[in-house]
């Protein structure tokens, strides 16, 4: 029933409800509230369920899936061949990962050989490439190098012609002695041979990093130090036999060479006594010193330094006031006195010594009997001294190495096209960026680093440039540099070889005569060593390194982060080596820093060294610190990547989780025979490079469930980086 009620000048109508209607309305409201509550609860449940499902999908998935591609199968075969899974990983992870390394060889060595095979395939398929004018000479050189029948047919005649150009040889009976410094100039400039010292162009390792002529110790053929070699007399007999063999191969009378050979051995032995190890130079703070050519002339007057260097580095304009970098002035002084003392009495013997050394330099272009004679000497001396003999390379490998050296601009470009696809470049840049960003964020956890130093370190990392794979010179080579107009092919392979030596030297000099530009130094694309240019603040990871078994876009992320990622992190850490040296970080907490360094020394000292090896913990400390820090940063970056991206894969039939595969891949980088460790190596033996960082990683202990007391689960750990 509707009623009307007055309200001012207007009226409004109101409908009165019955009790039954009001009860029904109340019930509707209760049901609506209940429905809304249930709907909210259902929505919340759906959201929660989806969140849990998403969490499981992203973080857990259905478990990692096996990678069954061909590249993963090849990697699996390598891991199965090199590892020894019967060894407990918490006790000896090096043997677990590398126990059969004597059979399989070092992964670095295997990769270096594979890169040479890639270059070989390029050189043996010239029709597959679009070549600029003149570049076909690289392929012609390689073919000539491989034509051993023609080289052996020529015999020693091409080298005897070289001897005539040097004034002849008394053993041949046709010697017209040239001035000693004239001979030395010819050796250095025309034949690439440096019998008493080395001279080369290279930027200085300290500010202002300008290119300069550097004078260094020679690379002597046989190291003869009488008091340090228990089989010294036998070594002398083997070397005399080798020199007699050379004379026979050259067509001379070996019965006339006795005094000449003995004098050559005397020169070799004396020069060895003058050599100073590189680490001794560093310990004395004299890696090099700058002197003028005139000052050098006064210290070592037996050498006409201005004429010899001018001939070698023409068209550079040198003068007595030109400064050169000398790495061991005392050696040059002693070498000069030796030559002065014996030059007047034994000029013919000195000529023999020079010719014997020149045979070794030019042996790749000579009859294979010359190379076989030197390999035999190396093997016998190795047996007498306990040193590893010179490796025996197949002919194709020697020819690839020489073609790489002489025709580097052409082969660098072709190698990049063959091996470093855009997808590889993108994946490698993505990996490096993750490693670098993780390192930047990781710096705030470094306990000994003060706020200002941390900010400076973060800025340096942020501003760092990286060249992944090729440098600009390899991608866009100068066409004029590739014409090789100065390379003359033939008539003998030795003459071709010498022409290439001179052409390469001319290119190097022309490059240094150009206005100084950033990043002018070059990293060979088939090389395996990452490099950092201090003046340019540029880091280069060559294409040859970013290859299986260290990196591939199709690998499980655990492999790429454990292998290539740890290599990248190690190079980044080396940028800050100076901070770890005494006085290198005055504002840092020195007490905390020294405590962490001492902790790391003790950690490594507590680990057993491989039999037959010894190392100085204090000498390897910077490398040990980089190894331990690299593993921690690479692992942190890997975890970060897993959070952002789903779908991790593993290697089938290896019975390793993704985290375990990460550690396995880290160790694989270090796999090599510990007995091949160079006593002068500034890095720890490979077993310690594996066990040191792993024993400092709580994550390794957790993922391999290492019990208390196991070698790689020590009671305490360090935190340096």
CA separation for the pair 611, 305 (Å, rounded)? 48
681 a catalytic residue: no
Nearest to residue 394, comparing CAs of 374, 414, 371, 410? Answer: 371
Residue given tokens 């093997």 in the structure block: 379
Reading the block at residue 571, the tokens are 């190079």
CA separation for the pair 386, 676 (Å, rounded)? 11
Reading the block at residue 594, the tokens are 């020294």
**Burial class, 59, CB count within 10 angstroms (exposed 0-12 / middle 13-18 / buried 19+):** exposed
444 alpha-carbon distance from chain centroid: 29
Residue given tokens 């005539």 in the structure block: 164
Residue given tokens 């001012």 in the structure block: 8
Which of 135, 342, 367, 627 is labelled catalytic? 627
CA separation for the pair 455, 460 (Å, rounded)? 9
CB 529 within 8 A of CB 111: no
601 a catalytic residue: no
SS3 content of the chain, % helix, strand, coil (to 5): 60, 5, 35
If residue 202 lies in a helix (H) or strand (E), which one and from where to where? strand 198-203
Reading the block at residue 578, the tokens are 């100076």
CA separation for the pair 694, 700 (Å, rounded)? 6
CA separation for the pair 666, 660 (Å, rounded)? 10
- Which residue intervals of 191-251 are DSSP H helices? 232-249
Which of 571, 624, 648, 696 is labelled catalytic? 571
Nearest to residue 665, comparing CAs of 695, 701, 638? Answer: 638
CA separation for the pair 253, 268 (Å, rounded)? 23
Return the active site residues. 571, 627
């Amino acid at each position: 029933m509707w009623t009307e009620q007055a309200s001012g000048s207007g009226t409004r109508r109101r409908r009165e409800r019955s009790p039954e209607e009001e009860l029904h309305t109340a019930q509707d409201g209760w049901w609506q509230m209940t429905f809304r509550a249930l709907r909210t609860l259902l929505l919340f449940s759906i959201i929660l369920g989806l969140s849990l499902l998403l969490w499981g999908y992203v973080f857990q998935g259905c478990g990692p899936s096996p990678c069954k591609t061909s590249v993963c199968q090849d990697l699996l075969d390598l891991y199965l061949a090199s590892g020894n899974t019967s060894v407990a990983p918490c006790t000896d992870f090096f043997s677990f990962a590398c126990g059969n390394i004597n059979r399989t060889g070092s992964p670095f060595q295997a990769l270096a050989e594979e890169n040479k095979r890639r270059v070989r395939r390029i050189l043996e398929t010239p029709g597959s490439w679009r070549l600029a004018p003149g570049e076909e000479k690289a392929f012609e050189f390689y073919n000539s190098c491989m034509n051993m029948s023609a080289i052996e047919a020529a015999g020693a005649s091409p080298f005897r012609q070289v001897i005539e150009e040097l004034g002849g040889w008394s053993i041949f009976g046709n010697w017209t002695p040239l001035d000693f410094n004239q001979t030395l100039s010819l050796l250095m400039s025309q034949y690439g041979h440096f019998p008493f010292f080395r001279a080369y162009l290279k930027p200085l390792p300290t500010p202002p990093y300008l290119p300069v002529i550097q004078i260094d110790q020679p690379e002597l053929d046989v190291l003869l130090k009488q008091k340090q070699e228990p089989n010294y007399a036998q070594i002398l007999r083997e070397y005399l036999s080798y020199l007699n063999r050379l004379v026979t191969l050259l067509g001379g009378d070996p019965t006339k060479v006795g005094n000449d050979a003995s004098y050559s051995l005397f020169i070799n032995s004396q020069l060895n006594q003058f050599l100073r190890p590189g680490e001794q130079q560093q310990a004395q703070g004299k890696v090099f010193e700058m002197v003028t050519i005139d000052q050098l002339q006064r210290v070592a007057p037996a050498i006409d330094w201005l004429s010899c260097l001018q001939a070698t580095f023409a068209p550079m304009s040198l003068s007595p006031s030109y400064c050169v970098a000398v790495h061991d002035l005392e050696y040059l002084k002693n070498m000069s006195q030796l030559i002065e003392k014996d030059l007047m009495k034994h000029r013919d013997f000195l000529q023999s010594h020079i010719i014997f050394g020149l045979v070794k330099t030019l042996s790749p272009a000579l009859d294979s009997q010359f190379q076989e004679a030197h390999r035999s000497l190396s093997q016998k001396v190795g047996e007498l001294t306990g040193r590893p003999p010179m490796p025996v390379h197949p002919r194709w490998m020697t020819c690839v190495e020489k073609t790489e050296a002489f025709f580097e601009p052409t082969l660098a470009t072709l190698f990049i096209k063959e091996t470093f696809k855009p997808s590889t470049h993108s994946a490698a840049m993505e990996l490096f960026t993750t490693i670098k960003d993780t390192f930047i964020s990781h710096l705030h956890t470094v306990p000994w680093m003060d706020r200002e130093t941390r900010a400076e370190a973060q800025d340096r990392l942020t501003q760092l440039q990286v060249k992944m794979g090729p440098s600009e010179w390899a991608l866009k080579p100068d066409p004029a540099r590739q014409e090789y107009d100065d390379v003359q092919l033939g008539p003998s392979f030795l003459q071709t070889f010498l022409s290439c030596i001179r052409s390469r030297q001319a290119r190097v000099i022309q490059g240094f005569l150009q206005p100084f530009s950033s990043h002018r130094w070059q990293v060979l694309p088939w090389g395996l060593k990452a490099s950092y240019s201090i003046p340019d603040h540029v880091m280069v990871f060559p294409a040859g390194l970013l290859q299986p078994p260290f990196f591939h876009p199709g690998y499980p992320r655990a492999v790429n982060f454990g292998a290539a990622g740890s290599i990248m992190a190690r190079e980044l850490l080396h940028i800050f080596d100076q901070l770890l040296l005494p006085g290198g970080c005055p504002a840092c907490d020195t007490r905390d820093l020294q405590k962490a360094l001492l902790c790391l020394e003790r950690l490594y000292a507590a680990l057993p060294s491989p039999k037959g090896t010894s190392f100085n913990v204090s000498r390897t400390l910077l490398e040990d610190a980089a190894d331990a820090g690299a593993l921690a940063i690479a692992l942190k970056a890997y975890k970060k990547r897993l959070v952002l991206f789903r779908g991790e894969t593993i290697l089938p039939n290896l019975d390793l989780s993704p985290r375990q595969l990460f550690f396995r891949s880290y160790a694989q980088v270090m796999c090599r025979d510990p007995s091949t460790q160079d006593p002068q190596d500034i890095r720890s033996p490979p077993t310690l490079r594996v066990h040191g960082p792993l024993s400092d990683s709580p994550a390794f202990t957790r993922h391999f469930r290492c019990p208390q007391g196991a070698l790689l689960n020590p009671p305490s750990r360090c935190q340096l980086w």
